[in-house]
A and B are shown apart, each in its own frame.
Chain A
Amino acid sequence: MKEIDARGLSCPEPLMMTAEALENADGPVKVLVSEAHQKTNVEKYAKDHGKKATTTEKGSEFEIVIE
């Protein structure tokens, strides 16, 4: 699975990296972010593009699998 590590980056970098990864990937994409608002943004982006996002909390950070 393609993995995007956007932890600690400022907006809108996590979303740009997610968008780029989804464009180039065939299968699911795993996105790591650290802030709650970035988690919401990535989930919403996935939903708006007809994908399913599953989020798990990893300590104080988030792992979102988009498929």
Chain B
Amino acid sequence: MNLADSKKKLALAGLGCGLVAACLAFFGNPANMAFCIACFVRDMAGSLGMHQAEAVQYARPEIVGLVCGSFLIAVVTKEYRSVAGSSPLIRFVLGMIIMIGSLVFLGCPLRMVIRMSAGDLNAWVALIGFILGVATGAFALKQGFSLGRSHETNAASGAVLPAILAGILILAVCTALLKASEAGPGSMHAPILLSLAGGLIFGALAQKSRMCFAGSIRDVILMKNFDLLTVILGLFAVMLVYNVALGKFTLGFDTPGVIAHSEFLWNILGMYAVGFAAVLAGGCPLRQLILAGQGSSDAAITVLGLFFGAALCHNLGLAASGTALNPETKELVAGAVPVNGKVACVICILVCFVIAFTNKRKVRK
């Protein structure tokens, strides 16, 4: 089975993933988050007590499903390869940067597309930053950027992250050890089995279609290849229909209920950091989870970087706040990026430049 060899199959995979996201939103996930990788990894970090933001703590079965879905389909279709050794700590830092940039904007590239499909113009503004970030990464690649080769390792090594995540889910279901929000976005979720099934299906489809938000734009810039973009357009189309059909489409900035802010510069710079770091790491947050599932310990390290970045964001007050209605006064309180978050975002972009231009591909003689 190969979903990546024709545009039609790629579009179908995108439609399938869109249906999963729409379904999960319908059954209880925060509407315009649906399946945000950054938000859900942040919630998982919260459930483990890595940060203390009470509104965003929940062991999201979707994340477990994504990685395990990719793992299972890779094993079945003989694409599982346990590899490691391509600049792991640089990848860890890139994972941190992706998370910090995402939480300055308030969403990963997947959520950016979901927000775009709901008419949130702030997400369209952020898309400019994302494209510029990807383009900067693509420029570095043209200059010979590389994090070096990975090598095969013991087969068990690649199964560690899927096993850890499955363990977290078991702890969440069978014990009261993990934290779970009682209010806020962390308390909003589809039934566990549905979330897990959605994650498994999404993970398998993403593994087979090579879905990647950073890769889609990178391939257009570098290769004039629109294949991966087809998957994203499929997902966008389904979410657009879902939002319009259910009256959830509101064109505008500052829409209450959409967890977002209207600080244009920081929406752009946040996603610039995400796009840049994702190209350097070889894929967006979703793609990192999928690669980790199919056996890459390097991608697994990037995922750990996402967890670490999420903890930093909430422990050090880097994450932005969303525009919301004050329930008592009925006034609109504008969301904002805190000063700490702005400083962190600028540092992240600088670090991306350092990584991009100090790591060159070595030619084998």
Q: Which residues of A contact B (CB under 8 A)?
A: 5, 7-13, 15-16, 19, 34-37, 40-41, 44-45, 60
Bound-complex Cα distance A44 to B223 (A):
12
14 A-B pairs in the complex with CB atoms less than 8 angstroms apart: A8-B148, A8-B149, A9-B146, A9-B149, A10-B150, A12-B219, A13-B361, A16-B141, A16-B222, A19-B223, A34-B81, A34-B83, A37-B4, A41-B4
Query: Does the CB pair A15–B223 fall under 8 Å?
Result: yes
Contact with A along B216-254 (1 / 0, CB 8 A): 001100110001000000000000000000000000000
Of the candidates A8, A16, A44, the one whose C-beta lies within 8 Å of that of B151 is A8
Query: In the complex, A19→B147 CA distance in Å?
Result: 20
The verdict on B364 contacting chain A, using a C-beta distance below 8 Å, is yes
Decide if A12 touches B83 in the complex (CB within 8 Å): no
Q: Is B282 an interface residue (CB 8 A)?
A: yes
Complex Cα spacing A13 to B86, Å = 13
A11 lies within 8 A of B283 (CB) = yes
Q: Mark B266-295, 1 if CB is under 8 A from A, else 0.
A: 000000000000000111000000000000
- Which one, A5, A15, A60, contacts B364 given CB within 8 A? A5
Contacts of B148 in A (CB 8 A): 8-9
Tell whether, in the assembled complex, residue A40 and residue B2 are in contact, meaning their CB atoms are under 8 Å apart: yes
Residue of A nearest to B84 (CB): A8
CB contact between B210 and one of A5, A13, A37 (< 8 Å): that residue: A37
For the complex, is B152 an interface residue (Cβ under 8 Å from A)?
yes
Chain B interface residue count: which class?
A: 20 to 34
Residues of B within 8 A of A40 (CB): 2, 4-5
User: Which secondary structure dominates chain B's binding surface?
Assistant: loop
The verdict on A35 contacting B147 (CB below 8 Å), with A12-B218, A12-B222 known, is no
Which residue on A lies nearest to B281, using beta carbons? A10
B69 contacts A by Cβ under 8 Å: no
> Which residues of chain B in 64-91 are interfacial with respect to chain A, using CB atoms and an 8 Å cutoff?
78-79, 81, 83, 85-86
CB nearest neighbor in A for B364: A5
What distance in Å separates the Cβ of A30 from its nearest Cβ neighbour in chain B? 13
In whole angstroms, what is the CA distance A32 to B187 when docked?
48
Instruction: Give a binary string over B130-160; 1 marks a CB under 8 Å from any A CB, 0 the rest.
Output: 0000000000011000111111100000000
Query: CA A35 – CA B169 in complex, angstroms?
Result: 29
Which A residues are in CB contact (< 8 Å) with B186?
none
CB distance from A29 to the nearest CB of B (A): 15
Candidates A9, A12, A60; contact of B215 at CB < 8 Å = A12
**A7/B215 in contact, CB under 8 A:** no
List 19 extra interface pairs beyond A9-B148, A10-B86, A10-B282, CB under 8 A: A8-B83, A8-B85, A8-B148, A8-B149, A9-B86, A10-B146, A10-B147, A11-B283, A12-B219, A12-B222, A13-B141, A16-B141, A34-B83, A35-B81, A36-B79, A40-B4, A40-B5, A41-B4, A44-B5
* Minimum CB distance partner of B298 in chain A: A10
In the assembled complex, the Cα of A31 lies from the Cα of B86 at a distance in Å of 20
What's the Cα separation between A50 and B210 when bound, in Å?
A: 23
Q: Shortest beta-carbon distance, A50 to chain B, in Å?
A: 15
Q: How far is A36 from B2 in the complex, measured between Cα atoms in Å?
A: 10
Report B107-150 residues with CB < 8 Å from chain A CB.
Answer: 141-142, 146-150
Residues of A within 8 A of B298 (CB): 10
Please, which residue of chain A has its CB at the minimum distance from the CB of B215? A11
Contact, CB under 8 Å: A8 / B81: no
Q: Which of A10, A13, A34 has the most CB of B within 10 A?
A: A10
Q: In the assembled complex, which residues on chain B have CB atoms less than 8 Å from the CB atom of A19?
A: 223
CB distance from B225 to the nearest CB of A (A): 8
Q: Provide the residues of chain B in CB contact with A37, threshold 8 Å.
A: 4, 79, 210
Residues of B331-365 at the interface with A, using a CB-CB cut-off of 8 Å, are: 361, 364
Complex alpha-carbon distance, A39 and B22, angstroms: 33
